[in-house]
Amino acid sequence: MTTSITIDHQASGYSDELAYGLANAAALAYQDQPTVEAEVGRWGFDRVRHHQTTFTPPFPLQDTQAYTAASDKMIITAFRGTEVAQLRDWLADTSTPPWPGPAGRGFVHYGFAQALESVYPDVLSAITELRDQGQSVWFTGHSLGGALAMLAGVRLYLEDPHLLASGIYTFGQPRTCDRILALAHDDALAKRTYRFVNNNDIVPHLPPEPAFHHVNALRYIDSHGKVHESMPLFAKLPTLTAAGVAEALAPASRALRDHGMKNYIAALQGNLTRA
């Protein structure tokens, strides 16, 4: 059974339907600009801005990409993820000095901070321009894109409390910041952020604690595709050694297969049809 993609432009809070819609919006960030514009147009968004910056070596990412789509009720900014191979060193290492968090709150993983900084001024400009009728503002992304969506949402609020996002939905997001910034996020965005983890997906368990932390916003997808508000103890991974991380990030590993955005979308679609 195929579930059509519809996004409620007057949504607030959490719903399985909105999670499915924003998962598809996150997946769409991997596509080219004409495809993005055509698809969001079908979802009822009549204005789109694209955000892209290119990096040079030795920075491991080639670029950062995102798009912002607006209707007269809702604005969505979706950040594109990247291949895990490009993030492998970031995900396993805690030795790189962190970057100061927004508004001086805590610290952010250096790589994620630089990736966001490269596009954030353009994203903020687009939201400011397009938010001409008090529209709700939403962020979404998969993998690296999830990290950037979470950081963009908390930065938006901490630097201008009048711009509090209505929601942040992330999928397979790695840890991005220290405990101080995570707590600042939770104070401002409790019940507005939903961090989906699919079964054995390894990426949300990295970079390792205690240097990096997640915000308190889990939605766990079990092996049957059912969404839970907490992760059962048997599903929590032990502390990983460097060799264990390398093995888990191998292309054929189950832990990496569960990271695929298609698997997140399939599980969320299954929750809709199950209901």
pLDDT tens per residue, range 197-210: 999 999 999 998 88
The pLDDT value given to residue 1: 44
Q: Give me the residues paired with residue 220 across strands.
A: 197, 228
Confidence of residue 32 (pLDDT cuts 50, 70, 90): very high
Domain count along the chain: 1
Q: Give whole-number Cα distances, 27 to 35, 82, 115, in Å.
A: 12, 11, 18
Mean pLDDT across 32-47:
98
Q: Does 77 map to a domain?
A: yes
Q: Domain limits at 226?
A: 16-274
Q: Within 10 A of 243 (CB to CB), how many other CB atoms are there?
A: 8
Mean pLDDT across 96-112:
94
What CATH number has the domain bearing residue 260?
3.40.50.1820
Query: In which order are the strands placed within the sheet that holds 167-171?
Result: 47-54, 63-70, 74-79, 136-142, 167-171, 193-198, 218-221, 227-228
Q: Does 145 map to a domain?
A: yes
Residue with tokens 């969320």: 268
User: Does the pLDDT of residue 233 top 80, yes or no?
Assistant: no
Q: Does 7 map to a domain?
A: no
Mean pLDDT across the chain: 91
User: Nearest CA to 149 among 125, 120, 127?
Assistant: 120
Whole-prediction pTM = 0.94
Q: Does 163 map to a domain?
A: yes
Catalytic residues, which ones? 143, 201
Coil vs helix vs strand at 142:
strand
Comparison of pLDDT for 6 and 230, the residue scoring more? 6
Q: Helix count (H) and strand count (E) of the chain?
A: 10, 10
Confidence of residue 255 (pLDDT cuts 50, 70, 90): confident
Confidence of residue 86 (pLDDT cuts 50, 70, 90): confident
User: Does the pLDDT of residue 250 top 80, yes or no?
Assistant: no
Confidence of residue 130 (pLDDT cuts 50, 70, 90): very high
Measured between alpha carbons, how far is 28 from 265 in angstroms, rounded to an integer? 12
Q: Does 10 map to a domain?
A: no
Q: Does 209 map to a domain?
A: yes
Q: What are 167-193's pLDDT values in tens digits?
A: 999 999 999 999 999 999 999 998 999
The pLDDT value given to residue 97: 87
Q: Does 11 map to a domain?
A: no
CA 69 from chain centre, in angstroms, equals: 16
Q: Does 5 map to a domain?
A: no
The pLDDT value given to residue 247: 72
User: Does the pLDDT of residue 274 top 80, yes or no?
Assistant: no
DSSP state for residue 71 in the 8-state scheme: -
